[in-house]
Structure 1
Amino acid sequence: MLLAIDCGNTNTLFAIHDGRDWIAQWRAATHTGRTADEYAVWLGQLMALTGLRFSDLTDCIISSVVPQSVFNLRNLARRYVKQEPMVIGDANVNIGIEVRIDRPSEAGADRLVNALGCHVKYPGALIIVDSGTATTFDIVSSDGAFEGGIIAPGINLSMMALHEAAAQLPRIAIQRPEKVIGRSTVQAMQSGVFWGYINLIDGLVNQVKDEYGAPMTVIATGGIASLFEGASKEIEHFDPDVTIRGLYEIWKRNKG
């Protein structure tokens, strides 16, 4: 069985693939100081609830945008999976994605993994909207190449900025308001954050399509993407498994 780890700025996803399907997924808050043993205690307990043990795992692949976390995640794989992990970004790991931007080294590992994860499932040119700490819009050509994109602040960052920079604005939860015009401060903030992001997504997707000049399929992923389902006019597919699908594909290709 394969343990796939996707370490993001806010959350870290642990997922297990049995060779046919993803059979378990868990998320933990990303803390750079968390040791391999602390990860193992937490993960081992969750695995036990589904009848799994570390001895069932035979391989591990790691993708991380938090460099400080990689050392402890490597040690988790070495000590408890008893394998040297495959780490995205290492020289010996071939992602298999052509990067058509001015400075290919600047392309984040997570964005390349997402590009592959979508390309193997969806045909044609793609726009991948990944909603997390940042909201990214990644462009994938019909032949699977990464062609650049857009990086915007994430919705949680925007809410945090409102609360911290304006003395009289409270901290609010993200939810879809019934009406655009708010009748209270909280309603007004929720409308601005939610509908502001819907229009950010739809507006940028439309501009990308106009500039690209070819039909494109729009896929949304990330921890917050489900909030936008039914509200965005441009998003065609909501797919929470984009990243782990990409990691599995990379693992298969490198394992031969």
Structure 2
Amino acid sequence: MKLTIDIGNTCIKLVAFDGDTPIESCHAEHDEPYKIVEFCSRHDFTKGIWSTVKKLSTDFTSVIENLPFPTMQLVSGKTPVPVSIGYEPPTSLGSDRLAAIVGAWTQQPFHDILVIDVGTCITFDMISSKGIYMGGNISPGPKMRFRALNTFTSALPMVERKGLSPRLGTTTETAIRSGVINGIRLEIEGYIKEFRSKYPHLLVYLTGGIHIDLHNSEKMCIFADEYLVPKGLNGILQYNEASFAK
């Protein structure tokens, strides 16, 4: 059994793997390191891997370092991975983005793949059929967009993401929600259309904590995978298996 820990901007995701198969997952807040201990008590883990996009508290780091099995941290540009990184400097690439790319590549090797992660930010990352990470783009996620409209104006209210989002809003609330949600959908569909014009056999992976409904015309060869980052972490752990034998 193997443990993956994905520490994101919003929350922490723990996943237990039996081989390549995720068998249980758990979410924790950044001030709940005890949940890692509770999760580990339910499984006979032999090794683990973790990554973070933010600085951890001393308590959190201590919990990970004192787990009763060996763990490794994914550090972009330093940890060996089964793909080539075309990003400068490699150490500046977010570990979550790298793990998502590896997760897609290990499932669909030798394909051109666009990975779209919709969360706190929206990231678009491309890996070629030769296994070369070509780079990517970062865009504000839904929460950032709603907050920006409220913060940087004097009259627009803070609107929740869930609710009616018609093609054209008929109230200030629906105008904001529709502008944000439909804007994100059109942004994603635009990326897919543009990349498919250059890579006709492009595969697309959608992941992240926020679901976006795409038009039917854009759904061909799109895979929704909530475990993409954990699968990538698990694949990187397997790729570095020899380091645990030393």
What interval of TM-score do these two structures reach, taking the shorter chain for normalisation? 0.7 to 0.9
Q: TM-score, normalised by structure 2?
A: 0.86
Per-residue CA shift, 1:1-47, capped at 9, x if unaligned? 22210011112111111335212111223x3xx4xxx512x3445x3
Higher share in helix:
1
Partner of 1:56: 44
Q: What does 1:1-256 correspond to in 2, within 5 Å?
A: 1-19=1-19, 21-29=21-29, 31=30, 34=31, 38-40=32-34, 42-45=35-38, 47=39, 53=41, 56-66=44-54, 68-69=55-56, 72-79=59-66, 81-89=67-75, 93-123=79-109, 124-175=111-162, 177=164, 179-210=166-197, 212-224=198-210, 226=211, 228-231=212-215, 233-235=217-219, 236-256=222-242
Q: Matched residue pairs, number?
A: 239
Uncovered stretches (5+) of structure 1, i.e. residues with no partner: none
Q: Distance in 2 between matches of 1:91 and 1:137?
A: 19
Q: TM-score, normalised by structure 1?
A: 0.83
Q: Distance in 2 between matches of 1:90 and 1:194?
A: 31
Uncovered stretches (5+) of structure 2, i.e. residues with no partner: none
CA separation of 1:233 and 1:39: change in aligned 2, threshold 3 A: farther
CA separation of 1:150 and 1:222: change in aligned 2, threshold 3 A: same
Any idea what SS the aligned residue of 1:120 has?
helix
Q: Distance in 2 between matches of 1:69 and 1:135?
A: 22
Q: Which has the higher contact order (CA 8 A, sep 6+)?
A: 2
Q: Distance in 1 between matches of 2:78 and 2:140?
A: 32
Q: CA RMSD in A?
A: 2.4
CA separation of 1:43 and 1:213: change in aligned 2, threshold 3 A: closer
Q: Distance in 1 between matches of 2:33 and 2:205?
A: 31
Of all paired residues, the percent bearing the same amino acid is 27
